[in-house]
Structure 1
Amino acid sequence: MSPNPLGSGQPRPAAAVNEDIRALARSAWGRPLTDEERAAYELLVVEWAAAERAEVVAAA
């Protein structure tokens, strides 16, 4: 999983973050997420939402 660049100015593309979310889900397939995985998932969702917003604004 790539580092979260939210503090670096430009978010990663939403598709890249989505792939990290999918990879996390695949690694936990068939079992509940650990506390660490849940925390990583929550950060990824926040990063993904920021990337989506940035892409919508850029397209406008």
Structure 2
Amino acid sequence: MSPHPSPPGSARSAAEVNEQIRALWLRTGGALSAEERTEYELLVVEWARAVREEIIRAA
């Protein structure tokens, strides 16, 4: 699994992104460096986008 989030318009599901977020927290033991914090923030934005897209598709 790549440590970098996919670019905007990614086809990854919210579940896939959530799994990467969980892996990041496990890998770091819950203590994020500045670089890991940036990665986490990007993943959360990607996750929110994926959730929104899934809701729109379901409607």
**TM, length-normalised to structure 2:** 0.85
Letter in 2 for 1:19: E
* Percent of aligned positions that are identical: 54
Count how many residue pairs are aligned between Structure 1 and Structure 2. 57
Bigger radius of gyration: 1
**TM, length-normalised to structure 1:** 0.84
Give the Cα–Cα distance (whole angstroms) in 1 for the partners of residues 16 and 38 of structure 2: 18
Post-superposition offset of 1:4: 1.4
List gaps (5 residues or longer) in structure 2.
Answer: none
Equivalent residues in 2 for 1:1-60, closer than 5 Å: 1=2, 3-6=5-8, 9-29=9-29, 32-60=31-59
